[in-house]
Chain A
Amino acid sequence: MLAASFDDPAPSWRPAAGGHVAVTAARVLRVGRHRTPSLAAGPARAGALPWPSVRPRTLARAITRVLASMLALWAGASLAAPADTLHDDRGEPVVAGPPARRIVSLLPSLTESVCALGACDRLVGTDRYSNWPQSVRALPKLGGLDDAQVERIVALHPDVVLVSTSARLAERLEALGLKVLALDSRSHADVKHSLFVLAQALGLPAAAQPVWDAIERQTRAAAERVPATMRGRRVYFEVDTTPYAAGAQSFIGQTLTRLGMTNAIPAVLGAFPKLNPEYVVRLQPDIVMAGQLELQTMAQRPGWGALRALRERRSCGFASDRYELLVRPGPRMGEAAAVLADCLAALSPRTDGSP
């Protein structure tokens, strides 16, 4: 059931439908709301925050800088105007203050990001799905995004609560005087943005770039390991048995593209389109990827026995921990790329291992 897959294995797997149009539109909406080029200028200047605690001279300098950049903008020279402040995905600025020492994270991918930035020991509670790294399993579990336990969260005295956008919880927590950071993680760009915003809030602005670089490095290394015979093959990655697939716009699809693979699903169908089972059979993807259990019974679906990829065992079934890694848009995306590359390498006819 789809609802189950939203709740259990990877609640942070939050597909956005509507294809590139919607993704771009969302980006436009986000940028439009607070006039910040979300990535272009943000991370590079993440360290310097001129606004709080201003001295007259700095103020004068800041005004000059703003005027100068406005002029530049007016002249059409630069689109990246004064964007020193990072924003969360509701458009709320992440003001420089004392770095957050006590953090509650209500999204597994954000929990992982906090830990990857080296602040795992600052977490005081998580949602019920956060399970990586091992140390977070012992933390108080505070429910899910939509049924979080407000009282327990408040009792933990967090400096900041990490949520995703469109949670009613954020409003309630803010009314109770807590600081809330809402971060989306739908694409590679979202994950990068989240890392930099988080690093800022943690007072570790320099920590984000190395984490992102590691993801990039791992992804590149994984891409190099994909056998030449596999490159360009058409992959069908199933995220739910209904069936929902990972399209090219999703973070999973983006990783596959980086590995040099083609997505069997046309990009116009959106990030996580719900498909007609017949459509998949007609697509005849070269490679099928899914959870191990789902893959085992896939050929028994009406007509799916005709899928050549299944008959010729050109498929990857991922055990549940591996699968969870793949469908979680966080700092382990590089590792996920490696898992995909392993599978593709094993499938290559040149290797002598069993497929």
Chain B
Amino acid sequence: MTSPDRRRRARLIVGLALGSAALLGVGLGAGSDGWSLDALWRVGSSPDAALIVGQIRAPRTLGAWLTGALLGLAGAVAQGLFRNPLADPYLLGSASGASLGVVLVLAASALSGHAISLVTAHALAHLGLVSAAFAGALLGVMLTLLLARGAQQSTRLLLAGVVVGVVLSAFSDLVTTVAPEAMRGKQAFLLGNTGFLGWGSCAALAIGVVAAGALSWRLARALDALVLGSDTAVSLGVHLQHTRLALVAVMALATGLAVSQTGLIAFVGLVAPHLVRRLAPAPAGYTVLASGAAGGALLLLADVLARTLIAPQEVPVGVLTALLGGAYLIWLLHRRAAT
């Protein structure tokens, strides 16, 4: 490893840490009426300000970072696993599975006694949107694994993911056709929303970030070997089947958690690893963790912008991540074409 490389990596990590810390601070001051720092100063004295900053802004801000981190992490794992820079965390059916879960809960009361039994409808309504989305995401990935007969072949896995995605989306479309009242909620889920994150959500997300981070750090050596191709990886002593399954599990866990709390936020998982690889080429372990930090910073930036751009109204955060991410990718393509 050359020292300029090492310096670049160190610089990126410091930059991401400082940027994230600054954004976390900014997030506490970005309120529903634009910048309202006075609420911050009054936290100690007024219970109202304490409620707004402590119970709403703080968990929302931290939650946005954690969600972005999960997506960035999952994106880096996906791109490493598939050796494909276009891979994103939603690839293995988790997105469509989660949407189906959400739509079923939204439509439960309309479908009860008609397409599904009363007991099922009752159970669905009690399951809640978050759990249903998480269960749906995991179910989607499991279906993909079943269809691909394990995780051994990348192409098979990718194709199975696409098929499961299409089929599950078709099912949720079918449900919204029968119960159009679920449409509006589904639309909101597809757009993503960080506005409802509380401390409970943050705790779940934080556990997810720690678990997924630790797991992918342990799997980093295998990811590095996979970059050289399956045969080389095997010759380097990597147990392909177990490793790939473990990587898919990390992806599913991270994506499912993120999606269940905030809906389908676009582009963060795709862009964060690109950003990291471009700024500091490095072994997989570093790339995965730095992608997590980059994803967190990116989503938090989008969230702060969403709150303040047209305050007191809000821009959907998913629109902003797509715009920011899309603009970056276009710029990247343009640069590549020029050189």
Q: Is A229 an interface residue (CB 8 A)?
A: no
Docked Cα-Cα span, A178 to B125, in Å, equals: 21
Report B-chain residues with C-beta under 8 Å of the C-beta of A6.
180, 183-184, 187
Q: Is A346 an interface residue (CB 8 A)?
A: no
Docked Cα-Cα span, A168 to B110, in Å, equals: 17
A289 CB to closest chain B CB (Å) equals: 19
Q: Which of B6-14, B113-121, B245-253 contacts A (4 or more CB under 8 A)?
A: B113-121
Docked Cα-Cα span, A226 to B82, in Å, equals: 68
Name A16's contact: one of B115, B128, B179 (CB within 8 Å).
Answer: B179
Name B184's contact: one of A25, A26, A145 (CB within 8 Å).
Answer: A145
Docked Cα-Cα span, A154 to B59, in Å, equals: 15
Task: Tally inter-chain residue pairs, CB-CB below 8 A.
Answer: 128
Report A-chain residues with C-beta under 8 Å of the C-beta of B129.
168
Name B112's contact: one of A22, A143, A147, A166 (CB within 8 Å).
Answer: A22
Q: Is B152 an interface residue (CB 8 A)?
A: no
A220 CB to closest chain B CB (Å) equals: 30
Q: Which of A7-15, A112-120, A328-336, A347-355 contacts B (4 or more CB under 8 A)?
A: A7-15
Report A-chain residues with C-beta under 8 Å of the C-beta of B110.
16-18, 22, 26
Q: Is B240 an interface residue (CB 8 A)?
A: no
Report yes or no: A147 in contact with B314, Cβ–Cβ below 8 A.
yes
Q: Which of B288-339 contact A (CB under 8 A)?
A: 312-314, 316
Q: Is B170 an interface residue (CB 8 A)?
A: no
Given known pairs A146-B185, A151-B57, A165-B109, the reply for A21 and B114 (CB within 8 Å) is yes
Given known pairs A147-B188, A151-B32, A172-B198, the reply for A29 and B112 (CB within 8 Å) is yes
Docked Cα-Cα span, A29 to B108, in Å, equals: 11
Report A-chain residues with C-beta under 8 Å of the C-beta of B105.
166
Docked Cα-Cα span, A6 to B179, in Å, equals: 13
Q: Is B48 an interface residue (CB 8 A)?
A: yes
Q: Is B26 an interface residue (CB 8 A)?
A: no
B15 CB to closest chain A CB (Å) equals: 30
Q: Is A188 an interface residue (CB 8 A)?
A: no
Name B187's contact: one of A14, A143, A146 (CB within 8 Å).
Answer: A146
Given known pairs A17-B179, A140-B312, A166-B185, the reply for A149 and B51 (CB within 8 Å) is no
- Ranked nearest first, the 3 interchain pairs of A and B with the lowest CB-CB distance are A25-B113, A146-B188, A18-B114
- 12 more CB-based (< 8 A) A-B contacts, given A22-B112, A25-B118, A171-B196: A3-B183, A15-B180, A17-B111, A18-B111, A29-B112, A29-B118, A144-B188, A150-B195, A151-B56, A168-B130, A172-B198, A176-B198
Sample of 9 A–B contacts (CB below 8 Å): A19-B114, A22-B113, A146-B184, A147-B316, A151-B56, A155-B48, A166-B106, A168-B130, A171-B128
